Structure 1
Amino acid sequence: MFKRRFSLAIAAAAAALAATAVAGCGTNAQPIQVNLAASEVLAQAAQKTTEVSSYTVDAVVDVSHPQEGEGKVQGRMVYQSQPQLALDLTVDTAGVGGRELPGGARVILQGDTAYVKVETLNKVLGATKPWIKVPLAEAGDRAQVDQMLGQVQQFDLASVTKMITTSQDVKAAGNESVGGTDTTHYSGTFPVEAAVQQLPAEEQDQARKNLAELKDVKFDIWVAADGLPRKLTLSGAKEGGTLDATLMFKGYNEPVDIQAPPADQVGELPKGTTN
Structure 2
Amino acid sequence: MRRLAPAVALGAAALVAVAGCGAQGTGSLGNVKLAAADAVQQSAQKAEEVTSYSADLVLDASSREKGASKIQGSMLYQSRPQLATDIKLDTLTFGGQNVPGGARAILSGETVYVKSELLSRFAGATKPWVKMPLSELDAEGQAGVRRFMDQAQQFDLAGTVKLLTASKDVKAVGTETVGGVDTTHYSGTFPVAEAAQLLDPAKREKLQEEFSRVKDVKFDLWADAQSLPRKVTLGGSEQDMTFSLTAFFKGFNEPVEITAPPADQVGDLPEHRGGN
| TM-score of the aligned structures, taking structure 2 as reference length | 0.90
Specify every segment of 5 or more residues in structure 1 that has no aligned partner in the other structure, as ranges.
18-29
Structure 2 residue aligned with 1:72: 70
1:254 aligns with 2:263: no
Structure 2 residue aligned with 1:61: 59
Pick from 6, 9, 13: which aligns with 2:8? 6
Structure 2 residue aligned with 1:150: 150
Deviates more, 1:138-147 or 1:177-186: 138-147
1:33 deviation in Å?
A: 7.2
Across the two proteins, how many residue pairs are aligned to each other?
263
Task: Describe how 1:204-219 pairs up with structure 2 within 5 A.
Answer: 204-219=204-219
1:32 deviation in Å?
A: 2.4
Structure 1 33/64 Cα, relative in aligned 2: closer, same or farther at 3 Å?
Answer: farther
Structure 1 residue aligned with 2:229: 229
- Where 1:40 maps in the other structure, the secondary structure is helix
1:47 deviation in Å?
A: 1.1
Task: Describe how 1:93-172 pairs up with structure 2 within 5 A.
Answer: 93-141=91-139, 142-172=142-172
1:57 deviation in Å?
A: 0.8
The amino acid across from 2:125 in the alignment is: A
1:272 deviation in Å?
A: 4.6
- Output the aligned Cα RMSD: 1.8
Contact 1:33 1:227 in 2 (8 A): no
- Where 1:134 maps in the other structure, the secondary structure is strand
Structure 1 residue aligned with 2:183: 183
Structure 1 residue aligned with 2:22: none
Q: Distance in 1 between matches of 2:223 and 2:41?
A: 12
Q: Distance in 1 between matches of 2:143 and 2:197?
A: 20
| TM-score of the aligned structures, taking structure 1 as reference length | 0.90
The amino acid across from 2:14 in the alignment is: A
1:212 deviation in Å?
A: 1.2
Q: Distance in 2 between matches of 1:37 and 1:140?
A: 51
The amino acid across from 1:90 in the alignment is: K
Contact 1:3 1:139 in 2 (8 A): no
1:273 deviation in Å?
A: 4.0
Structure 2 residue aligned with 1:48: 46
Q: Distance in 2 between matches of 1:273 and 1:82?
A: 35
